[in-house]
């Protein structure tokens, strides 16, 4: 998951595409819910790592989406 997030984040840095940020939102949400879907919610350190990082990734990617749509509206 970390490699996938890093690849899409780097791609978005060089050539910003909205779909790349949506992929990062999806990856963040997946990471957020993965402890319960994959069954490792009883390993508290792993669970909190996935939940916190997943939430951060989803929020930051969502924020980038909001910022990009606001910029596009102002420039047109």
Reduced to 3 states (helix: H, G, I; strand: E, B; else coil), residue 60 is helix
CA-based end-to-end distance of the chain: 36
Using the predicted structure, report yes or no on whether residue 1 has a pLDDT greater than 80. no
What does the pLDDT look like over 57-69, one tens digit per residue? 999 889 988 887 7
44 vs 76: which has the higher pLDDT? 44
Per-residue pLDDT at 10 exceeds 60: yes
Statement: residue 15 has pLDDT above 80 = no
Q: What pTM was computed for the model?
A: 0.76
Q: How far apart are CA 23 and CA 5, in angstroms?
A: 8
Q: Which pLDDT value is given to residue 35?
A: 95
Distance CA 59, CA 44 (A): 22
8 Å CB contact between 25 and 55: no
**For the chain, what is the mean pLDDT?**
84
């Amino acid at each position: 998951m970390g490699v996938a997030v890093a690849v899409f984040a780097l791609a978005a840095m060089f050539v910003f595409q909205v779909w790349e940020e949506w992929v990062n939102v999806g990856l963040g949400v997946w990471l957020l819910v993965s402890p319960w879907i994959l069954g490792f919610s009883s390993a508290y350190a792993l669970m909190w790592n996935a939940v916190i990082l997943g939430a951060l990734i989803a929020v930051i990617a969502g924020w980038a989406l909001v910022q990009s749509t606001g910029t596009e509206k102002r420039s047109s």
